[in-house]
Structure formats: C-alpha cells, structure tokens
Chains A and B, each alone.
Chain A
Amino acid sequence: MSDRKAYFFLGSNYVRYDIVDDQIDAGYPRALPGGWIGLSFSSVDAGVNWGNGKVYLFSGTQYVRITLANNNTVDPGYPLPILGQWGAMPFATIDAAVNVGNGKAFFFQGNQYVSYDIAADQPDPGFPRPIAPDWPGVFPSGVDAAVNWGNGKLYLFSGNQYVRFDIATNRVDDGYPLLTASQWPAPIAGTIDAAMERSPAPPTQLRCSPVFEPGYWNDGTDPTKLANQRSVQKNDNCYNYATDIPNRTFAQPGQASGHPIASLADCTDAIAGATSDGLTPAAAPSCVGCCHPVALVVWPNRDYHWYRLDSSGMWSHKPGSTPATDRDNAGNPINDPRTADRGMYTQFCGFFCMCHGGVVRIVGPRTP
C-alpha cells in the first residue's frame, strides 16, 4: 500500500483509492463524514486539492476547507457559501474541480468551466467558457468529477463513463471514454459525484514554460555568427521566440501549414496562420496541459508581433532581429501585454496556448 491516494465520493459514501496499487483501500467504502472531522455534508459534489495542505469540498451552494495535516479536519468558520468567497466565481454550485499543477485550477458547472488563478485567488478574465472547444474529447455537456493522477494525466468522470486527459498534449487519450463500473482498474460501484487527489499534483508550470534566457537568443554581437549567417538573434523573430522554436528562418504564422498571412489589415490572417500552425486561441493567459501562453498584437496594415509568458510569470519578447527582452517600449517589465507599451502595435489580437507537441513545425523565408 502506497501513500499516494485519491478519494472518490459516491452519494453518502466515499472510498480511498491507492494510486500506485490501483485498488480501493481496505475498509472502504465508508459513510460520510467518516474520517472527515467536522464535515456536515451528507454528500459531496466536488473536491480539489489546493496544493498547500488544504483541500476544498463542495456540496450544494456551500463549501468547506480542510487541513489534511490536522487529521482531515474542517477548518473553523466553515461551511461558507460559494458565491462571494471565490472572487468573481460565477457558479453558485460546482460539479467538479481539479488543480492541474501549473498555478491553475478548473471548476466545472454544467457545460461551462472556469479557469482559476490560485496565486491571484480569482477566476481568470474571460470565463466561464464552454467545455467543448477547450477540452477536446471531454464530456461537452458536463463533468461530474475530476482528479489529477499526478503523472501528467487527469481523469474526468461523467455519468457512468470516464476519460483520461493528457495534460501535455491537451487531449483525451485514445480509447476513451470507458465505463467506470467495469473498466476502471478496481471497479467502483455507483456514479462518482466527486474525486480528489490527496497528494498535491506536481507543478507543470516550470517544466512546460520557457525560461527567460536572453543569452541564448542574443548572439547579435558575436562577429563570427554574424559573418556566417548563423546568428539566432538576427535570423529568428518574435514568432520563433514566442513559440520557443529557434530555427533561423524568421518564421511566419501559417507558412508551414499552408495558410500564410495575406493581409495585416487587422488580426484576422495572423490568427488564422497561427491557429493553422497548431496554436490554440485562449480567452485568458492560461493553458491546460504542458503549454505556455503567448499573445499576438498587430500594427495595423504593417506587421504583427508576439509575446510569451515565461516560467517567471512575466512576459518577454523579441522584436524582429533585436535581442530578446523582458521590457516594453517604455523600459518597464511586462506584467500583461495588453497594457504594455507596444509602440505602433496598437491592436491586441488575443492569447494563445503554445502546447508542446501541438505545433509541429514553423518556417519562414530564410534558409535554416
């Protein structure tokens, strides 16, 4: 028996599940509250491990915070109503919640979901959004339960089915959905209302977000590299930098995927080109899976430009053949490309997710 556990809540009962052994621990199921000291809920709709020693359980319009290290005890002052306690959370009830380990948690309600910034303790702007376009292969009409398995996979349940979602590729693995009752490794009887990992999910942000490494990109003062045309700085542009794919081609959105930019009158063609290359539009600078957010802006009728969000949580960019920098035109650090000094690049087009494995190839007019 390992110490890596998950909990599944089914009606008035719950089970503790051993992730390593793939079986339900002896002595389960138990009736609520069972080992949850101070819990007054007769059933649980959703649970999420916040990664700081606290877990949250939701039931109806209320929730409780529990300290794991204190014998799974509900903290004083709880339960509280969901509305009004979670920033601008638009949901009065929660169907499912999961912490993906990159500073974001996701809350599902009906056919919508909210991306929640854990550090800011607020839903991200632009949410709720429909599940379908952002969670390909996941149940579009609703998710009953979600759990982070800690191995780069999420399991999401709906009715009598479940899917395995790969965080790195941002899609459901082949072969799913499967039946919970008969195809889960240790069959669980009944419909799962809520699920939650006991051990916090390992962080993915540091693994998946690029590090601001100006030294690698900024070789423009190296006479040898300039002389033999091998300078990364001179031959890679903002698109190479934002996607973190240096290939010395001055890459253009859509060029590799057959949708080159025909017009820069506005954002339209640049968005189409980037999407064609495999970038995913996002309502906010947050991505599910092994991805990093990037942002597109346009100097109408002239040019486009890209920013990327680094592992530091700050943005950086590389204007054309210049050095990469984490400063805007006014010399300020870039907290948000929407409010940065962008000079002539006045039109903000939107955020995208650059997922590892999602963009296969980018090219431009120069010979690699």
Chain B
Amino acid sequence: MTVSVELLVFSGIQNPVFELDPEEATQIAAAIDQVVGAELTPTSQGEDPVLGFRGFRLSSDDPEMSRLDSVLVARGAVIKTTPDGLMRGTDSAGCENQLIAAARNHGLADILHELGI
C-alpha cells in the first residue's frame, strides 16, 4: 500500500513529499476513517492561503487506500474531496499529530522545528 504525504509549506518550489511506511499508513488510514466515518459538513475552504505551514495532503493510487486520495489534513480538520465538493470533519482522531510525527521520521524534522511545530 502506497500513501504519499505532501507537507504543504512552500510557495515557489514544490512541497516536500514522503511515503508512509505500511504501519504508519495503516494507523493514519484508521484515524482518517474514524473522522470521515462521522458526520461531515460541506466546506468551501481547502488549503489555507497563507505563507508557511498549511497542513498535509494525502494521495494514493493504491485501490485499498483510494479513500485517502486528495484528503487534506489541516487546521484541526480532515477535508475530503468528493464529487459533491469539499467535505469537512473535525480531526478528533489526531490525524495531524500522526502526520507530523511521520514527517519527522521521514527527514522533515528540521523544517518542522524551524516552523515551531
């Protein structure tokens, strides 16, 4: 199972991207399932237009993980792209914290530290 995570942080150059280990992917998928399985509300706001840390975007071409594709985790929320538009759920399962820990494990500790995260 391949799940890529984009750290949404840069403006000019491309954002850093890393792949979750299978164990990380399983845990984060479970956390996101928990949020997405609860009630979601429509939202018009995706990525926040600010300079600096803006969250994480997941992508996967693995059929088993397709539900994670185009999921945005930011601002204490999980935002999923659906055919009806963006749907938002509160990140009650700690998805963002898990992704921050994963980013640290995948060589992005320095930039997160610089951002005060």
Contact = CB atoms under 8 A, between A and B. Distances in A.
Interface of A: 220-221, 223, 226, 237-239, 250, 252-253, 261, 264, 270, 299, 302-306, 317-325, 327, 329, 342-345, 365
Contacts of A327: 49
A184 B99 CA distance: 71
Contacts of A264: 13
A302 B14 contact: no
**Chain B, interface SS category:** loop
Given A343-B51, A343-B52, A319 B11 contact: yes
Contacts, number: 85
B46 interface: yes
B52 A221 contact: no
Contacts of A221: 44, 46, 85-86
Q: Which 5 A-B pairs have the closest CB atoms?
A: A343-B51, A322-B49, A343-B52, A325-B49, A304-B12
Contacts of B83: 223
Given A329-B51, A343-B52, 6 more contacts: A223-B81, A299-B51, A320-B10, A322-B50, A323-B46, A343-B50
Nearest to B10: A303
Nearest to A251: B12
Contact of B70 (A226, A305, A317, A329): A226
Nearest to B82: A223
B26 to A, nearest CB: 26
B82 A345 contact: no
A136 B49 CA distance: 38
Given A226-B70, A344-B114, A237 B51 contact: no
A303 B81 contact: no
25 contacts: A221-B86, A223-B81, A223-B85, A237-B12, A261-B13, A302-B10, A302-B111, A303-B9, A304-B11, A304-B13, A317-B11, A319-B11, A320-B12, A321-B47, A322-B47, A322-B49, A322-B50, A323-B46, A323-B47, A327-B49, A342-B51, A343-B51, A344-B52, A344-B115, A365-B14
